[in-house]
Structure 1
């Protein structure tokens, strides 16, 4: 671990994993709707949501996915890392009040590019609700010129 509690690129190993958990509250859903502009009634209107296949209101899929962002930013690689890309496959809805556990696992390290690929998964009560893959740019313990020189030698 580095001084911020996360990992530098040079500290990563394939298979290294971390988790972040959050219970999605009514307040979270309302704030996400306000911040994102996504006012889909399946998230906000109980009467409407009862008529859907879900039978009740559900959290925004991207709100659930944002727990992955927290796992990356706060755990692995951690503070200072930059999100480059993310793929997502939504498997199940998340109900308001459920706890989402995001797990990120290092799949590949691209030292020459200063990046890492992470498997990403979110679960509720042990059931997968979404999965995907992220590419991130972790911090480095090496000065920029040294990193450039090292990548050119490899």
Structure 2
């Protein structure tokens, strides 16, 4: 149990400025309903077509925090991957992403600071028409090298 091997993401010493990740996700009703059910968010702009049709948006939009969650998932899964943690974020949402839209994300490494164990990613997300729906930066703490917590004798190192 204590020595279980875990697949971790990229360590900071292997990361380089300029690395990129691109991925796409089509937003379906089930995705939005799961998000709204989990957060108990009842904002009508996210789900009510009759309400949204009377706003400048004209139709329901994808919650911006849900878009942020998709970005977070990409960081946790791929760049740098499992074991990483977001330490800051600066995002803007210049245009809405609509239901049934496709979000195409581009994440690019812009800073690698080994001394502070920190990387920064530039984030850009576009809809299926090429309009930017999210942009900004996120600061990430990549996965750390794991140290064994038990010797062969079965005792813990810190006891």
Q: TM-score w.r.t. structure 1 length?
A: 0.84
Structure 2 counterpart of 1:89: 92
- Between the aligned partners of 2:8 and 2:146, the Cα distance in structure 1 is 17
Spell out, residue by residue over 1:42-79, the C-alpha distance to the aligned partner (whole angstroms, 9 max, x if none). Answer: 11111111101011111111112222112211111011
Once residues 136 and 64 of structure 1 are traced to their aligned partners in structure 2, the CA distance between those partners, rounded to angstroms, is 17
Q: Where is the helix percentage greater, Structure 1 or Structure 2?
A: 1
Correspondence for 1:25: 28
1:151 aligns to what?
Answer: none
1:132 aligns with 2:136: yes
Partner of 1:103: 106
CA distance in 2, matches of 1:32, 1:87: 22
Alignment root-mean-square deviation, CA: 1.9
Q: Which runs of 5+ in 1 are unaligned?
A: 144-154
Question: What secondary structure does 2:70 align onto?
Answer: helix
Structure 2's unaligned 5+ residue stretches are 1-5, 148-159
User: 1:139, 1:110 → 2: CA distance?
Assistant: 14
Q: TM-score of the superposition, structure 2-length normalised?
A: 0.82
Provide the C-alpha distance between the structure 2 equivalents of 1:35 and 1:122, rounded to a whole number of angstroms. 24
Offset from partner CA, 1:80-128 (integer Å, 9 cap, x none): 1111111111011111111111221111111111111111111112321
Partner of 1:134, secondary structure, is strand
Which structure has the greater CA radius of gyration? 2
